[in-house]
Amino acid sequence: MREFLNIFSLEGKKAVVTGGAGVLGSAIAKGLGKAGAEVAICDIADTGSVIADLRKEGIKAKGYYMDVMDRKKIESCHDEIIKDFGKVDILLNAAGGNMPGATTSKDLSFFDLPLSELQKVVGLNLFGGAIVPSQVFGKTMAKNKEGGCIINISSMSAFRPLTRVPAYSAAKAAVSNFTQWLAVHFAQEYSKNL
């Protein structure tokens, strides 16, 4: 059984999880840690309880403040993580979500959704939740001798849109497409699949 587990071992790997204080991000971070990775939990929300839970499980983890809607904050967080961890092998982009102002209801039809609210949701999920962290961390990961792995969390809403959340569904479809593009780009440009 141990040989089977060794196939999936992440011993010595350094993982970054954006949106790491959220339900999905924290659960996946735990899985990465249980497989042996050291984990950087990044979020705009407090990461203290997630870090405490991971450490109780024997997982090496550290929390970082990251606002995925601010490139400079992502870059600053990246620099701190590189200083602390030395490298990044895995980037898991779990930041994202919907916002009430971009949700249709009995009182707010699709035709009346404010553009600014729709843009916030697309910005959060596509740019903050996938593209910009992939640019910032991917540039460093591309220099890794053994490559790396970028995982972007999309949604079934990308393929079968949920009712009431048009910007979220559109953004998640874009995240899925971007992830496919990124895989092809890295395979062609760097002869490795980040």
Catalytic (active-site) positions: 168
DSSP 8-state class, residue 16: E
Nearest Cα residue to 108 out of 99, 96, 121, 120: 99
Could you identify the residue written with the tokens 């950087």? 40
DSSP 8-state class, residue 111: G
Q: What are phi and psi of 150, to 5 degrees?
A: -110, 125
- Cβ atoms < 10 Å from Cβ of 37: 25
Q: List the structure tokens of 128.
A: 């903050």
